[in-house]
């Protein structure tokens, strides 16, 4: 049950994910340097939030060419569990591990606030500790979280039940007002075809302890730990 | 090797002298008297590079030449203070092996000229001040001042559309700049304040505060030591940006100041993040002797200050300095304020350990000089000595001015103007709505929602949530609370009393969250010190601040002075801003401001003896109600008795620690009516209360800003205990009423004066700032 948290130059949620995995979830965890191909036999890879390579060129674009991402692509191709959070989601899209892209928020501003997301599919390694339709409070903090994909991809995502989280209001309704960034169909997180890769804009590590105001985000980590025990 | 090269030219002759003309001195902001001192210190005519070095080191910004004699009156020590003023940041012992480094610094002038980069590099500069001490920055806050963003409630001055539009643009640029730097760097913004007054239109204030954590035995200092040790340059390459930034920050603005835009530095937060990680990692090698960031006055300041602190010399070879542009001369390299650079002294022979860390992070690290025995700054370029200056002539022996201190008399009436009628009865609900929409009271969500307030997963109370920002310290059950406060309008009416209020209120805010205030940092924003009345303001504010910091046991461990905050001869309100840091020993004591459920008792804990009606009305002239609703200003700030304030804060902390309270909220801007409304916003819980008027007009009872008062809520069964503790501290504990669902109803002497839905009040509170900015559609797109 070993977590590996990638560290790119400019990652700034790497230590947060590491803390949640190792101290809150109490699982073995290690930091993995972007310049190395070695995933150190980790069972799950977290691509953390931040500004990898300064987000120059385009968010996540440069990181996708890093040596460690070559290994992550191979790992994912073999069914390995990968979760990209915020900038990590952007990197996974740029790396081709997830479809679509994250555009600039409709408000053209960085937005940091707690939002509600609804669990659309609870039968995945990332959500199995949640009830289907559960509403979780998890914060966002991003400038480019406006998910977009073409119609064919959207149809694929829906058909495969691969939309795992949608932005909703506290009552669980996916309204326009509950959408903080203009994402297509209020999409907050999607999975790969094999359900081993997740990308999500909200930061579950930021609501994983009561002292932070909410611990709903811990469910995502607990799901992962549960999934790995089963595996 | 560089070392050898420097050794081969110990007797190199100095480069040609500059052709000194009155115009050259004027361009460098050096007076004739100051020039005479330069010649005396050197024993000859300076080179142009030397003249440039003196001009920045002796600028107001770097030398504090007008304020130093007064700053000496501030208290700076306590059992907790590990490092007081004089280093890059102050440091206090916070227990369990941890220390925290913190400081506040201004970036006012650059933020007016180029709001985005000015504000961004303000954040960048204060962050470097923290991590250069070995501390990882864990929180930032900002105290911002702008001109009016709407024509309503600008007080006693009229403001035109062009000015309002420009104020919008400055606010937007500053907020985006703060956000862009802090968000990318990865430090949470946990609070701060934003206020609006007419006087800040041509001179906004951007005061950036940062706090970092360091193990108490792993602190680094900006001190050079060890003759022969290498001096290493790390971080960004040097360009021509920011040359004479410190000198610019020491002048008044006039028409054409915008042309100084090239003096403003350009920030790269990604580079700073790499520099942070690399510096902290390099410090772990044990090979670093001393380290200082290159901020104002860049390479000049870092070399001579590190040398001066260590009583050694530093010799540098500019040919080795990484440069972004070609053809830069010694003058430009020494005065560049390019961002994200550090200078460090390493142990001789261990350079490679340091280089390896910086290589890993993809950063330049180059030996540019050597520590020498003679306490001088020697600068070589192309094998020639271009500057050779005794360190202390640049630092300790910089000019010190005892500028004439006049008396400040605010040009406002002492008593309420005859045309203003206050009332004894009537419905004040619409006045409360108006107050909640007032620019100094309304929600600043538009601002702080653009800041990452949660990165690092330590934020226990973020912006908009409480009176102070709170972070937990991982691996302990402790927290740190921090608050910024400053009331320029009150300081304008009475600089000493206003400064006392800033200290008292920031401390009160910190106590409301459950923390013991333990230390302070200050940012003194004033006008032109060459005017005796401005020096009168500065001197009085320092006296008031000093008295309050002694009373509240919060020594000042560092800070910053920003003078010449004037545009076209008109000064800002004297605006001392206080940053207070407090320790929460047990995070179970963390307390919030919000009413949590209905049926709880609502109390007012007060240390103020009720003023007579005439005094209360005189004090009312300084209130936000007077500014916002009456559009005028008179009288004095509220009286403040520091001994009572201390008792109030000790009592509140005891009540919080004995866990008998549900919530605690400081009652200040907008008075008790606004405080009660704010308590209800998070959970939609209101209150039904009755207030005594003590013969005061209705507006004064509701919106008066009498000091030293806290709104509490608690379980009814705890009321007697709270009253008993209050009496023990010599305070009054008044039961105002109880919390109720959804509505706020405030009676005065039994007659309802305010009745409103909490949600309606909150909507007005939240909508005011976005609506004011809506005049510029580009500013409010989306959320």
Number of neighbouring beta carbons within 10 Å of residue B427? 13
Cα angle: B125, vertex B476, B104; to 5 degrees = 20
What's the pLDDT score for residue B608? 80
> What are the tens digits of pLDDT across the range A103-120?
999 999 999 999 999 999
Q: Closest approach of chain B CAs to the CA of A212, in angstroms?
A: 5
Q: How far is B726 from chain A (nearest CA, A)?
A: 29
Per-residue b or e along B264-279, where b marks 16 or more CB atoms closer than 10 Å to that residue's CB: bbebbbbbbbbbbbbb
Contact B455 A213 (CB under 8 A): no
B719: which 2 tokens? 């009321």
pLDDT band at B259 (very low <50, low <70, confident <90, very high): low
When scoring A5, A9, A142, A215 by the number of chain B Cβ atoms within 10 A, the one with the most, hence best to mutate, is: A9
Output the pLDDT for position B782: 39
Q: Are residues B782 and A182, on separate chains, in Cβ contact within 8 Å?
A: yes
pLDDT surpassing 90 at residue B581: yes
**What phi and psi values does residue B763 have, to the nearest 5 degrees?**
-60, -40
Average pLDDT over residues B573-577: 98
pLDDT band at B160 (very low <50, low <70, confident <90, very high): confident
Chain B residues bordering chain A (beta-carbon distance below 8 Å): 176, 179-180, 183-186, 268-271, 273-274, 361-362, 449-457, 459-460, 472, 474, 587, 590, 781-783
Sheet with B98-106, edge to edge strand ranges:
B81-83, B90-95, B98-106, B205-215, B136-146, B189-196
- Best of A51, A112, A113, A209 to disrupt the B interface by mutation (most B CBs within 10 Å)? A112
pLDDT, average across residues B112-136: 95
Q: How far is B274 from chain A (nearest CA, A)?
A: 7
Average pLDDT of the segment spanning B60-74: 92
Q: What distance separates the 2 farthest-apart alpha carbons in chain A?
A: 45
- What is the average pLDDT across B700-722? 97
Least CB-CB distance to B456: which of A16, A112, A180?
A: A16
Q: Rounded to an integer, what distance in angstroms lies between the CA atom of residue B105 and that of residue B97?
A: 27
Confidence of residue B783 (pLDDT cuts 50, 70, 90): very low
Contact B282, B288 (CB under 8 A): yes
Dist. CA B363–CA B352, nearest whole Å: 14
| The pLDDT of residue B611 | 82
Mutation target vs A (from B359, B452, B590; most A CBs, 10 A cutoff):
B452
Query: Is A144 near chain B, with CB under 8 Å?
Result: no
Partner B contacted by A57 (CB < 8 A): no
Q: Which residue stretches of chain A have pLDDT < 50? A: 231
Is the Cβ pair B451, A110 closer than 8 Å? yes
Give the pLDDT confidence score for residue B508 in this predicted structure: 98
Cα gap B743→B746, rounded to integer Å: 10
Q: Please, which residues bridge with residue B253 across strands?
A: B567
Of the candidates B179, B472, B782, which has its C-beta nearest A211's C-beta?
A: B472
Choose among A78, A4, A100, A81: nearest CA to A48.
A4
User: In chain B, how many H helices and how many E strands?
Assistant: 27, 28
Q: Chain B: give the shortest CA distance to residue A13, in Å.
A: 7
Residues A126-150, buried b or exposed e (16+ Cβ, 10 A)?
bbbbbeeebbbbbbbbbbbbbbebe
Q: Is A203 helix (H, G, I), strand (E, B) or coil?
A: coil
Is residue A208 less than 8 Å (CB to CB) from chain B?
Answer: yes
pLDDT mean over B254-264: 61
Nearest-CA residue of chain A relative to B278? A9
Is A166 near chain B, with CB under 8 Å?
Answer: no
Instruction: State percent of chain B over pLDDT 90.
Output: 85
Angle between helix B758-773 and helix B161-185 axes, rounded to 10 deg = 100
Distances A87 to A54, A108, A158, B152 between C-alpha atoms, Å: 11, 17, 23, 41
Contact with chain B for residue A14, Cβ under 8 A: no
Closest partner residue to A205 (CB to CB) among B362, B457, B459 is: B457
Contact B450 A55 (CB under 8 A): no
Q: How many CB atoms neighbour CB B632 within 10 A?
A: 16
What mean pLDDT do residues B217-233 have?
A: 96
Q: Is the pLDDT of residue B496 over 70?
A: yes
Instruction: Report the C-alpha gap between B605 and B599 in whole angstroms.
Output: 19
DSSP state of B624: H
State the average pLDDT over residues B122-134: 96
Number of domains in chain A: 1
Read off the pLDDT of each residue in B582-596 and give the average, rounded to a whole number.
97
Contact between B565 and B525 (Cβ < 8 Å) = yes
Q: What percent of chain B has pLDDT over 70?
A: 94
Residue, of B297 and B432, whose pLDDT is higher: B432
The residues near A22 (Cβ < 8 Å, ≥ 6 apart) are A3, A28, A29
Span B31-47, mean pLDDT? 95
CB B457 within 8 A of CB A20: yes
Q: Can you tell me which residue has the tokens 């800003």? A: B705
CATH number at residue A133: 3.40.50.880
What is the C-alpha to C-alpha distance for residues B514 and B516, in angstroms, rounded to an integer?
7
Q: What is the 3-state secondary structure (H, E, C) of B673-722?
A: HHHHHHHHCCCCEEEEEEECCCCCCHHHHHHCCCCCEEEEEECHHHHHHH
Measured in angstroms, the CA of A159 and the nearest CA of chain B are apart by: 31
Chain B nearest-CA distance from A51, in A, is 6
CB within 8 A of B494, min separation 6: which ones?
B410, B540, B636, B637
Nearest CA in chain B to A206: B457
Per-residue confidence (pLDDT) for residue A204, from 0 to 100:
98
Chain A residues with CB-CB distance to B179 below 8 A: 110
Cβ B270–A139 below 8 Å, yes or no? no
User: Vertex B270, ends B267 and B274: CA angle to 5°?
Assistant: 120
- pLDDT for the residue numbered B245: 62
**Per mean pLDDT, which range of B328-337, B500-509, B563-572 is the poorest?**
B563-572
Cβ pair B783:A53 closer than 8 A = no
Interface contact flag, A15 B456, Cβ < 8 Å: yes
What is the reported pLDDT for B155? Answer: 56
User: β-pairing, B189-196 with B136-146?
Assistant: parallel
Largest Cα–Cα distance in chain B? 90
- Residue holding tokens 């990197």? A91
Give the list of residues 6+ apart from residue B382 with CB closer than 8 angstroms, or none. Answer: B319
Q: How long is chain B?
A: 783
Sort A31 into a burial class: Cβ within 10 Å, 0-12 / 13-18 / 19+: middle
Contact A51 B273 (CB under 8 A): yes
E strand or H helix at A44: strand A44-47
Distance from CA of A193 to the nearest CA of B (A): 31
Which residues of B are known to be catalytic? 61, 107
Q: Using an 8 Å Cβ cutoff, are B473 and B211 in contact?
A: no
B contact test, residue of A109, A138, A183, A205 with most B CBs within 10 A: A109
**Average pLDDT for B756-778:** 90
**Hey, is B312 helix, strand or coil?**
coil
**B178, B208 in Cβ contact below 8 A?**
yes
- First vs last Cα of chain B: how many Å apart? 58
Cβ-defined contact of A56 to B270 (cutoff 8 Å)? yes
Task: Judge whether residue B698 has pLDDT over 60.
Answer: yes
Q: What's the pLDDT at B781?
A: 42
SS3 state at B739: strand
Chain-chain contact of A12 with B783 (C-beta, under 8 angstroms): no
Residues of B in contact with A111 (CB under 8 A): 449-450, 783
Question: By three-state DSSP, how is residue A78 classified?
Answer: coil
Euclidean distance between CA atoms B26 and B47, whole angstroms: 16
Question: Backbone phi, then psi, for B480, in 5-degree steps?
Answer: -120, 130
CB contact A24 to B (< 8 Å): no
The Cα B477–Cα B95 span in angstroms is 11
Interval B467-486: pLDDT, tens: 899 999 999 999 999 999 99
pTM for the structure as a whole: 0.95
pLDDT band at B19 (very low <50, low <70, confident <90, very high): confident
Nearest CA to B224 among B312, B299, B318? B312
Could you give the CA distance from residue B672 to residue B710 in angstroms, rounded to a whole number?
9
CB atoms within 10 A of CB B11: 6
**Tokens of residue B88, six digits:** 């890059």
User: How far apart (Å, rounded) are the C-alpha atoms in residues B269 and B201?
Assistant: 28
Q: Which domain holds residue A137?
A: 3-230
Q: Percentage helix, strand, coil, to 5, in chain B?
A: 40, 25, 40
Q: Do B361 and A141 touch (CB under 8 A)?
A: no
> Which residues, including other chains, have CB under 8 Å from residue B142's CB and lie 6 or more apart?
B123, B178, B189, B192, B206, B207, B208, B209, B484
pLDDT (tens digit per residue) in B333-364: 999 988 899 999 999 999 999 999 999 999 99
């Amino acid at each position: 049950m070993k977590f590996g948290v990638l560290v790119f130059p400019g990652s700034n949620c790497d230590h947060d994910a590491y803390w949640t995995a190792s101290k809150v979830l109490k699982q073995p965890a290690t930091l993995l340097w972007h310049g190395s191909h070695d995933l150190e036999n980790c069972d799950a890879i977290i691509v953390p939030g931040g500004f990898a390579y300064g987000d120059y060129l385009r968010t996540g674009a440069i990181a996708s060419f890093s040596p460690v991402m070559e290994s992550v692509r191979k790992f994912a191709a073999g069914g390995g569990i990968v979760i990209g959070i915020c900038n990590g989601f952007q990197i996974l899209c740029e790396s081709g591990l997830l479809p679509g892209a994250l555009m600039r928020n409709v408000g053209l501003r960085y937005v940091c606030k707690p939002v509600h997301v609804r669990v659309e599919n609870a039968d995945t390694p990332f959500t199995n500790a949640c009830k289907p339709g559960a509403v979780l409070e998890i914060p966002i903090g991003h400038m480019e979280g406006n998910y977009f994909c073409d119609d064919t991809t959207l149809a694929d995502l829906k058909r495969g039940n691969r939309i795992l989280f949608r932005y909703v209001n506290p009552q669980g309704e996916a309204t326009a007002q509950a959408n903080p960034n203009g994402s297509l169909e209020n999409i907050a997180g999607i999975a790969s075809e094999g359900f081993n890769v997740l990308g999500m804009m909200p930061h579950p590590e930021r609501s994983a302890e009561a002292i932070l105001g909410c611990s709903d985000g811990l469910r995502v980590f607990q799901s992962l730990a549960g999934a790995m025990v089963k595996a | 090797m560089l070392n050898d090269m420097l050794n081969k030219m110990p007797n190199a002759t100095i480069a040609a002298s500059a052709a000194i003309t009155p115009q050259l001195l004027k361009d460098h902001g050096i007076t004739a008297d100051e020039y005479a001192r330069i010649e005396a210190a050197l024993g000859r005519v300076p080179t142009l590079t030397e003249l440039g070095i003196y001009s920045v080191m002796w600028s107001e910004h770097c030398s504090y030449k007008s304020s130093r004699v007064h700053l000496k009156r501030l208290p700076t020590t306590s059992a907790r203070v590990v490092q007081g003023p004089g280093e890059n940041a102050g440091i206090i012992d916070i227990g369990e092996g941890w220390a925290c480094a913190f400081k506040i610094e201004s970036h006012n002038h650059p933020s007016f000229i180029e709001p985005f980069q000015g504000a961004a590099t303000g954040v960048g500069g204060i962050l470097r001040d923290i991590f250069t001490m070995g501390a990882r920055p864990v929180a930032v806050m900002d105290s911002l001042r702008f001109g009016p963003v709407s024509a309503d409630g600008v007080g006693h001055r009229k403001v035109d559309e062009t000015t309002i539009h420009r104020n919008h643009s400055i606010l937007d640029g500053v907020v985006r700049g703060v956000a862009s730097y802090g968000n990318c760097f990865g430090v949470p913004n946990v609070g701060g304040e934003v206020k609006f007054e007419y006087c800040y239109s041509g001179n906004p204030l951007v005061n950036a505060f940062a706090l970092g954590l360091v193990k108490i035995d792993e602190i680094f200092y900006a001190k050079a030591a060890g003759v022969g040790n290498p001096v290493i340059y790390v971080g960004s390459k040097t360009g021509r940006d920011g040359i004479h930034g410190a000198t610019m920050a020491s002048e008044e603005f006039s028409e054409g100041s915008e042309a100084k835009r090239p003096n403003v530095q350009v920030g790269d937060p990604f580079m700073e993040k790499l520099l942070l990680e690399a510096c902290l990692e390099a410090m772990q090698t044990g090979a670093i002797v001393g380290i200082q960031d290159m901020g104002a006055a860049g390479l000049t300041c870092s070399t001579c200050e590190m040398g001066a602190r260590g009583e050694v010399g530093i010799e540098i070879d500019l040919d080795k300095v990484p440069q972004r542009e070609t053809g830069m001369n010694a003058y430009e390299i020494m005065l560049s304020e390019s961002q994200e650079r550090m200078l460090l002294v390493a142990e001789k022979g261990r350079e490679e350990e340091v280089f390896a860390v910086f290589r890993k992070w993809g950063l330049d690290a180059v030996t540019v000089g050597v520590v020498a025995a003679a306490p001088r700054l020697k600068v070589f370029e192309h094998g020639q000595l271009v500057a050779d200056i005794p360190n202390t002539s640049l630092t300790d022996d910089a000019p010190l001015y005892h500028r004439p201190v006049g008396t400040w008399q605010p040009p406002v009436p002492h008593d309420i103007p005859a045309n203003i009628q206050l009332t004894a009865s009537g419905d004040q609900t619409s006045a409360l709505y108006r107050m909640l929409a007032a620019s100094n009271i309304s929600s600043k969500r538009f601002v702080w929602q653009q800041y990452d307030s949660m990165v690092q997963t330590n934020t226990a109370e973020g912006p908009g949530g409480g009176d102070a920002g709170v972070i937990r310290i991982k691996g302990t059950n402790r927290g740190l609370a921090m608050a910024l406060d400053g009331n320029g309008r009150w300081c304008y009416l009475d600089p000493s009393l206003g400064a006392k209020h800033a200290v008292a209120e920031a401390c009160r805010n910190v106590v409301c969250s459950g923390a013991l205030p333990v230390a302070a940092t200050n940012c003194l924003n004033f006008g032109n010190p060459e005017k005796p009345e401005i020096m009168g303001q500065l001197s009085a504010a320092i006296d008031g601040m000093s008295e309050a910091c002694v009373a509240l046991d919060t020594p000042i461990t560092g800070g910053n002075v920003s003078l010449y905050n004037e545009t076209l001869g008109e000064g800002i309100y004297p605006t001392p801003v206080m940053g207070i840091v407090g320790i929460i020993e047990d995070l179970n004591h963390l307390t919030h401001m919000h009413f949590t459920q209905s049926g709880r008792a609502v109390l007012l804990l007060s240390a103020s003896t009720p003023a007579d009606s005439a005094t209360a009305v005189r004090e009312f002239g300084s209130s936000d109600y007077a500014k916002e609703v009456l559009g005028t200003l008179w009288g004095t700030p509220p009286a403040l008795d520091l001994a009572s304030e201390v008792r109030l804060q000790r009592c509140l902390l005891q009540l919080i620690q004995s866990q008998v309270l549900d919530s605690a909220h400081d009652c200040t801007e907008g008075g008790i009516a606004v405080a009660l409304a704010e308590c209800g916003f998070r959970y939609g819980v209101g209150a039904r209360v009755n207030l005594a008027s003590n013969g005061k007009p209705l507006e004064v009872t509701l919106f008066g800003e009498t000091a030293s008062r806290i709104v509490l809520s608690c379980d009814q069964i705890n009321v007697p205990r709270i009253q008993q503790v209050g009496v023990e501290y010599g305070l009054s504990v008044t039961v105002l009423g109880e919390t109720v669902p959804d509505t706020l109803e405030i009676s005065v002497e039994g007659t309802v004066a305010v009745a409103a839905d909490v949600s309606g009040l909150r909507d007005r509170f939240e909508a005011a700032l976005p609506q004011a900015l809506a005049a510029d559609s580009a500013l409010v797109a989306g959320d």
